[in-house]
Amino acid sequence: MLKKKPRVAGESSSLSEEQLQCSICLEVFTDPVTTACGHSFCKSCLTQSWDKSQHYYCPFCKEKFTKRPELKINITLREVADHFKKKTVSDKSQILCDICTGEKQKAIKSCLDCGVTYCTSHLEPHNYVPKYKKHNLINAVENLEKYICQKHERPLELFCRDDQTCVCRFCTEGEHKTHNVIPLEEESGERKSQLGKTQTEVQEMIQERLKKIQEINHSVELSKRNTEKEKSDSVEVFTTLIRSNERSQAELLKVMEEKQKAAEKQAEGLVKELEQEIHELKRRDTELEQLSHTDDHLHLLQIYPSLCSAPHTKNWTEIRINTELNMDAVKTTLSQLQETLNEKLSRTLNEKLKEMVSTELKRIQQYAGTL
């Protein structure tokens, strides 16, 4: 069961913290939302509560909702809660009168002789009663005891330079009798002068650091521009290199394709020639077959010499189509080119890296020297 924070004593009955309190975080509402059952919560508190649960219900009365309600900030309640917060902070920052017995009024003066802080009405006697008119009044302060000597219960209105401490007039008649004692105002004036010098030094340090920030930012911007230029130059070099490689690759592929076409054309001519010889040989074979079955002895004898003589054909024994391209020289050249490029790129990158490291080290040393 959610517990409520107890009502703070002295709060107005018309506007209490209890009425403006979220029952989840037990604090005054921040961006309050109101559920259908009429109970209000901080929007973030209720959202987190529902995010952790599979069911949606009011954390106060446990009423369940069929679907997750849409949360909208209660504008009026938020304004009331914000006003209450501001009023509470304002009340806490005010110093109240020590004499008031009912509703305490705002204090305006503290009396170092009386050890009491007064509001306007209770301060009146100090304005017209002779013995009170001589009292030492200061603007209202908290912890008034810090302004009063704890040993003699008198105002601390002097400063002992020997012991570097504030003392009252009775202290100067005892252990501080032979010490260098001056009024607080005098010591405070000198301290303020010293504070002015210290403040000037601090302001100069601030300006130096602001200037250093500008230098660092300028260095970063300069480094950025240099980096962008180096990137652009590097991209241009690599682009040129890539295009050159692409051209070389295209030329190489073209040579290889031309060699392939030449081989195909040669093969086509040889095949055509072979097919022609095969055609002639088949014709001769047909004539020989017919002649072997003829009964015309005269005809056989007349054409026999021409049919039995060797046909006019090419010797195909040594004729070959070269199926392998001689790419050894090309491969060697490409390998050498790759090694050269890798070596040059590695050398260039190392030089760039060394240059960048050296530059950054110099900047760091310069910056350290200025601190």
Looking at residue 2, its pLDDT comes to 41
CB atoms within 10 A of CB 107: 25
CA distance 244 to 250: 10
Domain end marker among 132, 156, 182: 182
165 in any annotated domain: yes
pLDDT tens per residue across span 256-293 = 888 889 889 989 999 999 999 899 889 888 888 888 88
Do the Cβ atoms of 126 and 111 come closer than 8 Å?
yes
Considering the domain architecture, whether residues 86 and 116 belong to the same structural domain is answered as no
Do the Cβ atoms of 156 and 147 come closer than 8 Å?
yes
247 in any annotated domain: no
pLDDT score of 30 more than 90: yes
Considering the domain architecture, whether residues 68 and 122 belong to the same structural domain is answered as no
CA angle 92, 94, 97 (to 5 degrees): 115
Q: What is the pTM of this model?
A: 0.40
pLDDT score of 90 more than 60: yes
355 in any annotated domain: no
List the CATH number of the domain containing 177.
3.30.160.60
Do the Cβ atoms of 244 and 251 come closer than 8 Å?
no
What phi, psi does 65 have (nearest 5°)? -120, 140
267 in any annotated domain: no
Least Cα distance to 182 among 158, 166, 164, 147 occurs for 158
What phi, psi does 159 have (nearest 5°)? -130, 125
Looking at residue 161, its pLDDT comes to 94
Domain end marker among 182, 212, 242: 182
pLDDT level of residue 10 (50, 70, 90 thresholds): very low
Tell me the residue type at 48.
Q
Q: Which two tokens stand for residue 60?
A: 């106060």
pLDDT score of 13 more than 70: no
Helix axes 297-308, 184-291, angle to 10 degrees: 150
Strands of 137-139's sheet, edge to edge?
A: 116-119, 107-111, 137-139
Residues in Cβ contact with 156 at an 8 Å cutoff, skipping those fewer than 6 apart: 112, 147, 148, 149, 166, 167, 168, 184
Looking at residue 69, its pLDDT comes to 93
List the CATH number of the domain containing 38.
3.30.40.10
The winner for highest mean pLDDT among 71-80, 251-260, 362-371 is 71-80
Domain end marker among 56, 90, 124: 90
- Domain span including residue 59: 17-90
pLDDT score of 135 more than 50: yes
* Strands (E) located in the chain: 32-34, 40-42, 56-57, 64-65, 107-111, 116-119, 137-139, 158-160, 165-167, 181-183
Looking at residue 21, its pLDDT comes to 92
Average pLDDT of the residues of the chain: 83
Do the Cβ atoms of 71 and 43 come closer than 8 Å?
yes
Considering the domain architecture, whether residues 84 and 114 belong to the same structural domain is answered as no
Looking at residue 154, its pLDDT comes to 87
CA distance 146 to 155: 9
155 in any annotated domain: yes
300 in any annotated domain: no
Considering the domain architecture, whether residues 122 and 84 belong to the same structural domain is answered as no
Domain count, the chain: 2
pLDDT score of 319 more than 90: no
Span 135-158, average pLDDT = 89
Looking at residue 342, its pLDDT comes to 72
Looking at residue 92, its pLDDT comes to 64
236 in any annotated domain: no
pLDDT tens per residue across span 188-245 = 999 988 988 888 898 999 899 889 889 888 988 988 998 899 889 888 888 888 888 8
The winner for highest mean pLDDT among 29-43, 209-223, 324-338 is 29-43
pLDDT score of 5 more than 50: no
The single residue listed with the structure tokens 């009429």 is 38
CA distance 349 to 357: 12
pLDDT score of 64 more than 70: yes
pLDDT tens per residue across span 153-186 = 889 989 999 999 999 999 999 999 999 999 999 9
9 in any annotated domain: no
Looking at residue 353, its pLDDT comes to 64
Span 314-325, average pLDDT = 76
pLDDT score of 6 more than 60: no
What phi, psi does 300 have (nearest 5°)? -60, -45
Span 130-139, average pLDDT = 89
CA distance 155 to 136: 8
Do the Cβ atoms of 86 and 109 come closer than 8 Å?
no
pLDDT score of 141 more than 60: yes
Looking at residue 186, its pLDDT comes to 92
The fraction of the chain above a pLDDT of 90, given in percent, is: 35
Looking at residue 356, its pLDDT comes to 65
